Amino acid sequence: MQYTHLGRTGLKVSRLCLGTMNFGPHTSEEDAHAIMDRAHEHGINFIDTANVYGFKLGEGITERIIGRWFAKGGGRREKTVIATKVYGKMGDWPNESRLSALHIRRACEDSLKRLQTDHIDLYQMHHIDRNTPWEEIWQAMEQLVREGKVIYVGSSNFTGWNIAQANELAKRRNFMGLVSEQCLYNLFNRTVELEILPACESYGLGVMNWSPLASGQLAGALKKAAEGRRSEPGVMEKIEKNRSKIEKYEAFCQEIGERPADVALAWLLANPVVTAPIIGPRTLTQLDASLRALEIELSAGNMKTLDEIAPGPGGPAPEAFAW
């Protein structure tokens, strides 16, 4: 396994982050525990979750699955950098969502109980809350850090402006601020190259990207469809919309003799701003297969071809759209 620092911090994390959104809804607890054990065997020490995962209001199903895995002992918790999130709706009452100081504190305490741990390594705001001032958010986060319940704070689905605003205000409070951003980024979704990635690079944020395979579009979607495998209607619509790009992409992967999913991850890993793509395996086989991406070195010519197949916005803003 390869390791890197999470942004400007001294924390070392694996170049692949294990995403757990499937744990509960699509992967049984037994299989989820086996996947996490195998991840450790591969050297993956970075696991990402969220209090809303499991998607039954207020139940925190996925965090509970991880908590029971930690409770098995054997160094599982000590070897893991655990990242979870706050923002989503956890109940029907007014203060059971978003980023008020009250909800942040309660949500953190609840996540700690479900995860069966005394601290969260990376506590991420799942979305920007435009109705809560940063002074209130940072006050709540600072208190959790002082109490040792949170080590680092990160964001998810922020804009470049949100990152700048948050970290400038944190700086005034002599607080470390955001150390990471989790965003949608893959070969078919490159909007973050305009402002979010430049902001992360400037402020020293690590980048974990979700949906690295574009909901399966970059995982051999056409071949799987031909083999009779079904997909969700929304995903099928995306596949049809991008069919021409997908055909070119899969032909390229066949030409270089690599699986489409591995090439998609290798393309992300080649970006120096990216810390760790978030992989979300449903099975041990899928987890094992993802390790191949770490061994693929895409040449400058390969990168140019991929850029031609799925062009980005043209670089960072404003050069991407202005003279």
Report in angstroms the alpha-carbon separations of 32 from 116, 173, 177, 238, 257.
Answer: 16, 40, 32, 28, 31
Q: Two tokens at 9?
A: 């911090």
Q: Is 243 helix (H, G, I), strand (E, B) or coil?
A: helix
Measure the CA–CA gap between 292 and 275, rounded to whole angstroms.
17
Measure the CA–CA gap between 184 and 159, rounded to whole angstroms.
11
The values of phi and psi at residue 317, to 5°, are -80, 150
DSSP string, 181-240: EEEE-BTTB-GGGTTHHHHHHHHT-EEEEE-TTTTTTTTTHHHHHHTT----HHHHHHHH
Q: Two tokens at 152?
A: 């680092």
- For residue 207, the Cα-to-chain-centroid distance in whole angstroms is 8
For residue 53, indicate whether it is catalytic.
yes
Measure the CA–CA gap between 80 and 137, rounded to whole angstroms.
26
Residue 157: CA atoms inside 13 Å, Cβ hemisphere, count? 11
Catalytic residue, candidates 3, 53, 123, 185: 53
Q: Which active-site residues does the annotation give?
A: 53
